[in-house]
């Protein structure tokens, strides 16, 4: 055997071993997830979130293996401005749902702070009651540079959590940037937490987010805040009526709650359950999920095309040349774009 042939044979053997180990790992990990092993779930999510190139294929295989067992949870998106009481609410509400026999996974999307790995859920002690529950699984936001990256990772994590037997998935996001749209597009129910405040009630939260929500919850309805909270409930209820009716026929509702005093939890769950019943009876949950899948497919295509386009060395060169002409006033912006993309 020549040296070259021996080397080739060795490389082939090493590849085979790696492949075998990888298959074993994938199978074992997926089987462990399906048997509701939380450590395996955490490990698989780490692989999904990894940017290491040899983890990409592994992640794909694990997600694929879990996919047939996913889809059985109720996915709830929760948003609201920082300080509105999201983590306190999730802590108390999640524990309440566990007392009803549910298994709760809490995920987060916070693309605004990739360096700090997400300001929300970053500190697990913020949900210490829930963190101590064996039937709860809390995972902070994946750190990633793009919202698209964070969204993909979270969507895959939802699949893994569902395969691991979690039947309610709460996905938290901050009420800033584009992350609400992302969370809205991966959940069945979108809950907006609001503060009762003096002055302009609609201040601080974009109209578009109010339009997206399936329900609103006025937080911190305790002590002196009970009256303003009930007032806000009436105000928002009429404000929501001004929006065009939702295609699915559901009318968003408003409730008040106090995470501090553990009040309003039953009402919040009732609202969500009524919505689930409404949607399920009409076959609308699966339609909504299919639409979301298609949306994410197009989002992903768009992101890939744009990133490939800008990374191509020829395009980079061409763009910089045309930019010079543009700055020199020789052509218009539209002509410049036309010259670049044809």
Q: Which of residues 190-219 bind ligand GDP (CB under 6 A)?
A: 219
Output the six-digit token pair for 338: 């036309």
**Which one of the spans 79-87, 199-207, 299-307, 328-336 is the region binding ligand GDP (CB under 6 A)?**
79-87
Q: How far apart are CA 111 and CA 118, in angstroms?
A: 7
Q: Can residue 233 be called a binding residue for ligand GDP (CB under 6 A)?
A: no
Q: How far apart are CA 46 and CA 39, in angstroms?
A: 11
- Reduced to 3 states (helix: H, G, I; strand: E, B; else coil), residue 258 is strand
- Give the position of tokens 């109010």: 210
Among 75, 139, 184, 220, binds ligand GDP (CB under 6 A): 220
Say if residues 180 and 108 touch (Cβ distance below 8 Å): no
Q: Can residue 95 be called a binding residue for ligand GDP (CB under 6 A)?
A: no
Q: Can residue 258 be called a binding residue for ligand GDP (CB under 6 A)?
A: yes
Q: Can residue 222 be called a binding residue for ligand GDP (CB under 6 A)?
A: yes
In whole angstroms, the minimum distance from the beta carbon of 221 to ligand GDP comes to: 7
71 or 204: whose CB is closer to ligand GDP? 204
Among 7, 54, 57, 82, binds ligand GDP (CB under 6 A): 82
Q: Can residue 88 be called a binding residue for ligand GDP (CB under 6 A)?
A: yes
- Reduced to 3 states (helix: H, G, I; strand: E, B; else coil), residue 148 is helix
Q: Can residue 253 be called a binding residue for ligand GDP (CB under 6 A)?
A: no
In whole angstroms, the minimum distance from the beta carbon of 83 to ligand GDP comes to: 5
Q: Can residue 267 be called a binding residue for ligand GDP (CB under 6 A)?
A: no
226 or 326: whose CB is closer to ligand GDP? 226
Which CA distances in Å does 321 have to 311, 314, 315, 331, 338? 16, 11, 10, 12, 14
Task: Please work out the total of residues on this chain that contact ligand GDP, with binding judged by CB under 6 A.
Answer: 14
CB neighbour class for 177 (10 Å; exposed up to 12, middle 13-18, buried from 19): middle
In whole angstroms, the minimum distance from the beta carbon of 117 to ligand GDP comes to: 16
Q: How far apart are CA 307 and CA 199, in angstroms?
A: 44
CB neighbour class for 284 (10 Å; exposed up to 12, middle 13-18, buried from 19): middle
Give the containing element (helix H, strand E) for 239: helix 226-241
Q: Can residue 260 be called a binding residue for ligand GDP (CB under 6 A)?
A: yes
Say if residues 153 and 49 touch (Cβ distance below 8 Å): yes
CA 99 vs. chain centroid, Å, equals: 25
In whole angstroms, the minimum distance from the beta carbon of 174 to ligand GDP comes to: 8
In whole angstroms, the minimum distance from the beta carbon of 257 to ligand GDP comes to: 7
Binding site residues, ligand GDP, CB under 6 A? 80, 82-88, 219-220, 222, 258-260
């Amino acid at each position: 055997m020549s040296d070259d042939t021996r080397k080739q044979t060795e490389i082939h053997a090493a590849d085979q071993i790696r492949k075998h180990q990888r298959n074993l790992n994938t199978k074992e990990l997926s089987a462990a997830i399906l048997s509701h092993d939380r450590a395996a779930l955490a490990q698989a999510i780490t692989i999904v979130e990894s940017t290491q190139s040899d983890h990409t294929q592994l992640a794909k295989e694990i997600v694929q293996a879990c996919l047939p067992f996913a889809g059985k949870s109720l996915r709830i998106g929760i948003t609201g401005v920082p300080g509105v009481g999201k983590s306190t609410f999730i802590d108390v509400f999640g524990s309440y749902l566990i007392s009803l026999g549910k298994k709760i996974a809490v995920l987060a999307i916070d693309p605004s702070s990739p360096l700090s790995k997400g300001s929300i859920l970053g500190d697990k002690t913020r949900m210490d009651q829930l963190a101590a529950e064996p039937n709860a699984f809390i995972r902070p936001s994946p750190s990633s540079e793009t919202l698209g990256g964070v969204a993909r990772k979270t969507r895959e994590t939802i699949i893994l959590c569902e395969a691991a037997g979690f039947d309610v998935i709460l996905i938290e996001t901050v009420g800033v940037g584009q992350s609400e749209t992302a969370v809205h597009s991966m959940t069945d129910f979108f809950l907006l937490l609001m503060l009762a405040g003096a002055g302009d009630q609609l201040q601080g939260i974009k109209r578009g987010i109010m339009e997206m929500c399936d329900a609103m919850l006025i937080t911190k309805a305790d002590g002196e805040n009970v009256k303003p909270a009930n007032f806000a409930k009436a105000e928002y209820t009429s404000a929501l009526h001004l929006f065009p009716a939702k295609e699915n026929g559901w009318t968003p509702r408003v409730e008040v709650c106090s995470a501090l005093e553990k009040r309003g939890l039953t009402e919040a769950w009732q609202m969500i359950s009524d919505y689930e019943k409404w949607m399920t009876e009409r076959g609308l949950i699966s339609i909504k999920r299919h639409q979301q899948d298609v949306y994410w497919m197009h989002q992903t295509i768009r992101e890939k095309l744009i990133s490939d386009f800008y990374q191509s060395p020829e395009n980079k060169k061409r763009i910089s040349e045309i930019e010079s002409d543009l700055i020199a006033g020789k052509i218009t912006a539209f002509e410049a774009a036309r010259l670049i993309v044809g």
